[in-house]
Amino acid sequence: MDEPRTSPASPRGRGPGGRERPPEDRELSPYTGWTRAHWEWAADGLLAAVAPYAGAGGALYHLPGGRPSVSGRRSDGLEGYARTFLLAALRVAGARGADPGGLLARYAAGLAAGTARPGGPGPEDWPRVTDRSQPLVEAASLALALRLTRPWLWDRLDDAVRERVADWLTDALTAEPHPNNWVLFPATVGGFLAEVGHRPAAARAAVTRGLARIEPWYAGGGWYTDGRGRAFDHYNGWALHLYPGLTAWLDGDAARAARYGPRLAAHLADQARLFGADGAPLHQGRSLTYRFAAAAPLWLGALTGHTPLSPGTTRRLASGALRYFLDRGATAGTGLLSLGWHGPYEGVLQRYSGPGSPYWASKGFLGLLLPADHAVWTAREEPAPVERGDAVHTVAAPNWLVQSTVADGLVRVHNHGSTHPDPDDPHYARLAYSTATGPAPHGAAPDNHFGLWRDGRITSRTEPEPLGAGDGWAASRHRAGPARVLSLVLAHGAGELRAHLVTGAPRGAEVRLSGWAADGSPRSELLPLHGLSAASAPPPVATAFARRATAPALRGTAVGDPRGDLFLCLARLTAVVDPPPLATSATVTVRRGSDGWELTVAWRGGPTQRARLTAESVRVTTAP
């Protein structure tokens, strides 16, 4: 095996909260240099940085950020308290109750103050949990934190405070959640209240009800949709697998573990492929400001024993993700997690995002529950899947094609199945995402897109329909204004063949195709092959990765071919210095059939793929 592509060594310096970073251990961790000590250091720093923003009673944490959520300041303050309390709970529980910094006393004071007059106007009063309200989300974090620290906190609280906190949480048992991952919040609260004997029948009913509601969303192969529809994203790992799996583990419920454990293991087999060699998780879906919460399911697999990953691979991926963000300014200047990706960036935020929202990243510290002598901490790091060789991998449920290259450590996901009710949502609507590029924000010309040019703008990708994925390919169909577009991608190495078959477009209609939005490092390329020619690129835009990213563009014209109008190009996203010309990556031939088109793509140094496209279907075969 080649020498590992290591994270660049950083100066000892200071990290979150101004604390000195522990020395690296390149013998134990040849890829990241990080050990359990770095996780403890990061947790301590994050908790130290938020402490000055607690209210006088410690019940609300009003973190700076300049952007309140739609739920308002009081709810945002509760969010800051609850999410950092979860981090404190993982830190103390992982230390088996050792708490030299007095973290639990700090949060215990907040419990007493916040529940003294819930729903009141006082500066420390918590808002009540009501239907579809943000406090329902935070109730789940509170309940989980209390459950993890029960011997050292809950069992030592005054009876009156315990009763008030339990009563406040009880409203979460029957509050109506949004019909997505929120259905697990009443269940998580129910797990804690059932354990401590508060309204046990109602608590157990909430658990059963919440777990039952996610069953119709299980799409197989380890993947859930986040509610009805086809919203496949990071909520799989940091919510839809996390809460059921962790609750079953805490309950010692063998039957539920037997249900959720194999699903988690199947998910991790795919999720492990979605991290770049630099540690970056896939940049796709909503709530990306949660950053290294993407590590939570990795740790859950090790914690429960339901994982296909070795201990060394688990830690390499998780530590890589944590280090990726801390090395790139996620807490720069203040020690506080900013609303953004590397640093502040509005493009990854939603209306519900507030100053405390990024601390859902606390879930990424789940590994601290594993003792220091567990193999996940003592085994030598092993390479991530992206570091083991070039690969093209199909993920059936979301109809994704995962394309990774070892030379530059990039992961690209061709999205032919994950969607969102908003057809213009840049984090779901694009045809491809990666670990090194972000989509152009709302309102800008879309990257990785194909549509008709009408009335001065590009049509949206509406009514998307997956058509399948297989060995080196994925396909889907969508509506573009009056037309239907069948889209196919074939992939090998870093190369992509993008094919779009358009039917129903007015004769003479202009089509536009765009590539990856990048700033030159990595490099984004398009090469027209059939029906397309170069077009002016849209103005540069700021993405989560670059201040000035540009997506190359092509244009073509629909001629009304009875078989459909075919548009073909080669595409590439690469961080390799001086790669061979894109034109040399494949030899492509096109032939008209009686009712469609036939393509042959002979990849340089790779397989030959043949595809047959009609207005209604696609068929692909691959030969060595």
Domain 391-623 grouped into CATH 3.30.70.1900: no
Confidence of residue 116 (pLDDT cuts 50, 70, 90): very high
Look at residue 17 in the predicted model and tell me its pLDDT.
Answer: 67
pLDDT tens digits along 23-65: 999 999 999 999 999 999 999 999 999 999 999 999 999 999 8
Q: HSE (CB half, 13 Å, CA atoms) of 176?
A: 2
Written as six digits, the tokens of 363 are 């879930």
Q: Report pLDDT digits (tens) over 402-429.
A: 999 999 999 999 999 999 989 999 999 9
489-502 pLDDT tens trace: 999 999 999 999 99
330-387: pLDDT as tens digits: 998 899 999 999 999 999 999 999 999 999 999 999 999 999 999 999 999 999 999 9
Contacts with 19 (C-beta within 8 Å, 6 or more apart), sequence order: 41, 44, 45, 48
pLDDT for 66 equals 76
Helix/strand/coil percent split, the chain, to 5: 35, 20, 45
Q: What does the pLDDT look like over 79-107, one tens digit per residue?
A: 999 999 999 999 999 999 999 999 999 99
Asked whether the CA dihedral 180, 184, 186, 189 is positive or negative, the reply is negative
Q: Could you read off the pLDDT of 200-228 as tens digits, one per residue?
A: 999 999 999 999 999 999 999 999 999 99
Res 1: pLDDT: 40
Q: Where are the domains positioned within the chain?
A: 16-387, 391-623
Look at the alpha carbons of 169, 173, 178, 181 in this order and tell me if their dihedral is positive or negative: positive
Q: Hunting for tokens 């032939």 — which residue is that?
A: 591
Percent over 90 (pLDDT), the chain: 95
Distance CA 140, CA 104 (A): 18
- pLDDT value of position 19: 79
Overall fold of domain 16-387: Glycosyltransferase (1.50.10)
Whole-angstrom distance, CA of residue 243 vs CA of residue 293: 13
pLDDT tens string 278-303? 999 999 999 999 999 999 999 999 99
Report the run of H or E that residue 108 belongs to, with start and end: helix 103-114
Q: In the predicted model, what is the mean pLDDT of residues 141-147?
A: 98
Rounded CA-CA distance 259/11 in Å is 45
- The amino acid sitting at 407 is A
557: left (phi over 0), alpha (psi -120 to 50) or beta: beta
**What pTM was computed for the model?**
0.97
pLDDT at residue 65, as a whole number:
81
Residue-wise pLDDT for 521-563, tens only, equals 999 999 999 999 999 999 999 999 999 999 999 999 999 999 9
Mean pLDDT value across the chain: 96
The alpha carbon of 266 is separated from its chain's Cα centroid by a whole number of angstroms, namely: 17
